[in-house]
């Protein structure tokens, strides 16, 4: 590992991997390091569905998804359940069911070899009088440090980069999900669940490669209690027990509420993906925004040298994306309003009938 880099990327998810891949190709002279905390095996705290917007961006990158990343079954609809009213509706959807951890590993494998990849956790960022940033990393239990000119935060809802240099998002949830053996019972392949008694957001069930995942977004302070209460309510509603969990996972999840929740950067620090607040407030879909913001920031560095000009370019390129995500906020408020949701679901608008 070098002692100095031009750019350090914190986070190796879709945003960080895309940025590192693209800038390594467009600016091969830059010394770049990516720090990825995720283990090489194990799952990602995510439902693991690839939305049409993300599929479109992969096509624009001319990337074909390897078959080994796909999971069974492939899903063509979502069953929406309102526990408060007992109303259920089915809506057609075009997601790809995939192994999210394998997906992230595939994206990392596309990064050129001129990028150093560290499997570790960044635990400190300190500005120096020289204008550089000291980066401290815990790699397999060993401490290491180096200096960098530019910091790119791509480390999700709990971003250390955002916490160090900017305000935290106005709304954070704790996302909790468990994995259960799929016993073949009458469980929806994919469902979206609303239960105002336990959460002001949504939850989900997804069948995946012989397992059923149940998860949701909950208030940080009471999240664990609310999760298990809601799980019991879902089991009662479905008339089917999930059984004994084989795995439980949790992470922080961002939900933007206002325009200032979208932060592009300042000075020598830039944010992409969920760390920048670029995630849908209504569905928590963030992979497409991760791809695009990583690409746009790479383009900015390829076009400009001065960090202030890079930031202006990046803000200009992401303006349409930020506007699109801003309009997801009122959609979220409609879907999470018990009264409005009841009216929409009772009407049956856009729903499909099951034969």
> pLDDT grade, residue 170 (50/70/90)?
confident
**145-182 as b/e, with b when 16 or more CB fall inside 10 Å?**
ebbbbbbbbbbbbebbbbebbbeebebbbbbbbbbbeb
If one compares 149 and 188, the residue with the highest pLDDT of the two is 149
pLDDT digits (tens, 9 = 90+) for 220-238: 999 999 999 999 999 999 9
Q: What angle, 0 to 180 degrees and rounded to 10, lies between the N-to-C axes of helices 328-335 and 338-347?
A: 80
What does the pLDDT read at residue 167?
84
Of the listed ranges 107-111, 138-142, 350-354, the one predicted with least confidence: 138-142
Which has the closest alpha carbon to 301: 286, 313, 287?
313
Domains of the chain: residue spans and CATH: 4-54+99-169+258-330 (3.50.50.60), 68-98+171-255+337-347 (3.30.9.10)
Pure H helices in the chain: 14-26, 52-60, 100-109, 160-165, 223-238, 287-303, 307-326, 328-335, 338-347
pLDDT score, position 39: 56
Q: What is residue 37's predicted lDDT score, i.e. its pLDDT?
A: 86
Secondary structure string (H, E, C) spanning 261-304: HCCCEECCEEECHHHHCCCCCCCCCCHHHHHHHHHHHHHHHHHC
Q: What confidence tier does 3 reach under pLDDT thresholds 50, 70, 90?
A: confident
DSSP E strands, 104-244 = 115-119, 121-127, 133-139, 142-153, 172-181, 190-194, 202-208, 211-219
Q: Is the pLDDT of residue 42 over 60?
A: no
Using 50, 70 and 90 to split pLDDT, how confident is the model at 40?
very low
Question: What mean pLDDT is predicted for residues 122-133?
Answer: 93
pLDDT tens digits, one per residue of 297-336: 999 999 999 999 999 999 999 999 999 999 999 999 999 9
Check residue 140 and give its pLDDT.
Answer: 81
pTM reported for the whole predicted model: 0.94
**How many angstroms separate the CA atoms of 21 and 24, rounded?**
5
Helix (H) or strand (E) holding 79: strand 77-82
pLDDT for res 315: 98
Mean pLDDT of 343-347: 96
Whether the predicted pLDDT of 43 surpasses 70: no
- pLDDT of 200 over the 90 cut: yes
Q: What is the pLDDT of residue 139?
A: 85
């Amino acid at each position: 590992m070098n002692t100095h880099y031009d750019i350090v990327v914190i986070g190796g998810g879709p945003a960080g991997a895309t940025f590192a891949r693209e800038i390594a190709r467009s600016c091969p002279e830059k010394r770049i390091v990516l720090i990825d905390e995720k283990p090489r095996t194990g799952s990602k705290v995510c439902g693991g569905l690839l939305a049409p917007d993300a599929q479109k961006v992969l096509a624009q990158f001319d990337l074909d998804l390897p078959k080994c990343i796909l999971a069974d079954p492939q899903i063509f609809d979502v069953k929406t359940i309102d526990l408060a009213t007992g109303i259920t509706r089915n809506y057609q959807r075009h997601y790809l069911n995939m192994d999210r951890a394998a997906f992230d590993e595939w994206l990392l494998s596309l990064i050129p070899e001129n990028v150093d990849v560290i499997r570790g956790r960044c635990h400190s960022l300190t500005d120096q009088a020289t204008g550089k940033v000291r980066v401290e990393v815990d790699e397999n239990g060993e401490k290491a440090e180096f200096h960098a000119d530019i910091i790119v935060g791509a480390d999700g809802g709990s971003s250390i980069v955002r916490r160090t240099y900017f305000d935290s998002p106005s709304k954070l949830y704790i996302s909790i999900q468990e994995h259960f053996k799929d016993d073949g019972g009458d469980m929806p392949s994919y469902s979206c669940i609303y239960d105002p008694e336990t959460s002001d957001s949504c939850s989900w069930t997804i069948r995946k490669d012989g397992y059923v995942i149940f998860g949701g977004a909950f208030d940080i302070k009471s999240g664990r209690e609310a999760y298990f209460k809601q799980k019991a309510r879902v089991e009662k509603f479905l008339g089917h027990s999930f059984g004994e969990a084989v795995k439980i996972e949790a992470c922080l999840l961002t939900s933007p509420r206002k325009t200032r929740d979208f932060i592009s950067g300042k000075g020598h620090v830039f944010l992409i993906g969920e760390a920048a607040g670029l995630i849908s407030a209504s569905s928590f879909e963030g992979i497409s925004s991760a791809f695009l913001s990583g690409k746009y920031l790479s383009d900015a560095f390829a076009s400009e040298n001065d960090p202030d000009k890079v930031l202006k370019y990046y803000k200009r390129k992401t303006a349409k994306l930020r506007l699109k995500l801003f309009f997801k906020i009122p959609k979220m408020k409609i879907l999470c309003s018990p009264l409005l949701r009841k009216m929409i679901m009772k009407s049956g608008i856009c729903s499909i009938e099951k034969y």
